[in-house]
């Protein structure tokens, strides 16, 4: 019950902060237009009779804008987890309340996840808006395999929360969130094929991409919703995503606990 109470309290705090700034929702309407319009027109420039043959050889069809929109949606969850977890700590350091909050008997992971939980719901709402906006702006369409796609996306997000704990441990050490989150977020999105098929990269980078579970989240969702050719059979991709949950949570929890203990020993937990 105490764990749930902490989640609830942090959830309500994050919700109140979010709705204090209604421009966030307005930004959601314009952000996909700002980020995806250049790719949309670039795809038009390279298409011949409605087909992009080079892109089609890597993916199995020419739905370039669908490829980009779905990658943009998945990257929204990746960014949400890293930014909310990383800046949850940095904000409390700046406000001078991190050490006092963590002196309470509250579970540390609950303190982090409670704030991220609301951000997950807000991001889901924003992703739906992105789909609607892109449908009318770019002709973005998907098939009816939405529930199957969610069954691949959801465990991927759970695994990312574990990776977010590892990022949080880095923030505790470095006392800075921006550069750490930018590097991890950008690197993961790039190597997991957010904006391009991973097969176009040099072989060494492809090998790294094939290790990352988010590669299979992007790939499986595109296969299910757009009919593009997956990197491997979907049941294997699902298995990799599920296994990553345990690996990321084990590594993330261990690193977070070890770094927290070290910061307490040095007396630098609440400094920034």
- Residue 171 is assigned to a structural domain of this protein: yes
Work out the average pLDDT over 100-111: 72
Q: How confident is the model at residue 241, as a pLDDT?
A: 95
Please, is 244 exposed, middle or buried when counting C-beta atoms within 10 Å of its C-beta (0-12, 13-18, 19+)? buried
- Residue 122 is assigned to a structural domain of this protein: yes
d(CA 167, CA 185): 10
- Residue 124 is assigned to a structural domain of this protein: yes
Determine the structural domain holding residue 238 and report its residue range.
2-266
Q: How confident is the model at residue 43, as a pLDDT?
A: 85
Q: How many CB atoms lie within 10 A of CB 176?
A: 14
d(CA 248, CA 169): 13
- Residue 133 is assigned to a structural domain of this protein: yes
Q: Is 91 a residue whose pLDDT tops 80?
A: no
Q: Is 240 a residue whose pLDDT tops 90?
A: yes
| Radius of gyration over every alpha carbon of the chain, rounded to an integer in angstroms | 20
- Residue 96 DSSP SS3: coil
Domain count, the chain: 1
Work out the average pLDDT over 90-117: 73
Give ∠ CA 243-188-83 in degrees, rounded to 5: 100
- Residue 271 is assigned to a structural domain of this protein: no
d(CA 35, CA 233): 31
- Give pLDDT tens digits for 148-190: 999 999 999 999 888 888 888 888 787 777 788 888 888 999 8
Q: Is 28 a residue whose pLDDT tops 90?
A: no
- Residue 149 is assigned to a structural domain of this protein: yes
Work out the average pLDDT over 246-258: 89
- Residue 103 is assigned to a structural domain of this protein: yes
Are the C-beta atoms of 224 and 122 separated by less than 8 Å? no
Nearest Cα to 117, choosing from 238, 7, 234, 237? 7
- Residue 272 is assigned to a structural domain of this protein: no
Q: How confident is the model at residue 227, as a pLDDT?
A: 93
């Amino acid at each position: 019950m105490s764990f749930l109470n902490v989640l609830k309290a942090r959830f309500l705090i994050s919700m109140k902060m979010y709705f204090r700034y209604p421009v966030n929702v307005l930004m959601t309407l314009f952000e996909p237009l700002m980020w995806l319009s250049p790719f949309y027109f670039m795809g038009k420039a390279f298409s011949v009779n409605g087909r992009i043959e080079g892109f089609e050889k890597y993916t199995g069809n020419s739905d370039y804008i669908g490829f980009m929109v779905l990658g943009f949606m998945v990257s929204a969850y990746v960014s949400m987890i890293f930014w909310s977890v990383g800046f949850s700590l940095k904000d409390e350091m700046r406000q001078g309340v991190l050490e006092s909050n963590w002196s309470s008997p509250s579970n540390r992971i609950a303190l982090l996840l409670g704030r991220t939980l609301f951000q997950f719901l807000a991001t889901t709402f924003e992703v739906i808006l992105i789909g609607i906006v892109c449908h009318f702006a770019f002709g973005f369409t998907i098939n009816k395999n939405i529930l199957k796609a969610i069954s691949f996306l959801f465990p991927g997000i759970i695994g990312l929360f574990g990776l977010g704990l590892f990022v949080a441990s880095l923030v505790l050490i470095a006392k800075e969130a921006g550069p750490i989150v930018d590097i991890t977020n950008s690197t993961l999105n790039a190597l997991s094929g957010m904006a391009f098929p991973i097969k176009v990269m040099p072989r060494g980078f492809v090998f790294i991409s094939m290790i990352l579970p988010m590669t299979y989240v992007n790939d499986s969702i595109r296969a299910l919703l757009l009919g593009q050719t997956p990197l491997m059979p979907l049941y294997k991709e699902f298995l990799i995503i599920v296994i990553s949950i345990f690996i990321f949570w084990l590594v993330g929890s261990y690193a977070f606990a070890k770094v927290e203990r070290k910061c307490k020993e040095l007396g630098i937990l609440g400094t920034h």
